[in-house]
Amino acid sequence: MIDLYRKQVAAMVIQLAKDDPALVKRVIHELRDAGQIEAGDLEYLEALANRWIRIAEENRRKALR
C-alpha cells in the first residue's frame, strides 16, 4: 500500500516538473535555502525541470520562425 502511494506521489511530482518547471525549481531552492533539504537532494527532479524549461524554450524559438 505504501509503495503504491509513493509511486503516485512520485508520478505527481514528475508531472508537476513537466507542467510548471519554474515552480519546481523555485520550491527546491527555497527548501535548500531554508535548510530543509541538503544540497544534493532532489537533483534528479531539478534536472528534469531544467530539461522541460529547455524544451519549452526550444518550442518558443521554433514557433517564432
Q: How confident is the model at residue 26 (pLDDT cuts 50, 70, 90)?
A: very high
Q: How confident is the model at residue 65 (pLDDT cuts 50, 70, 90)?
A: confident
How high is the mean pLDDT of the chain?
A: 92
| pLDDT tens track for 37-49 | 998 999 999 999 9
Dist. CA 62–CA 20, nearest whole Å: 20
Task: Give the pLDDT of residue 23.
Answer: 95
Task: Give the pLDDT of residue 39.
Answer: 87
pTM value > 0.85: no
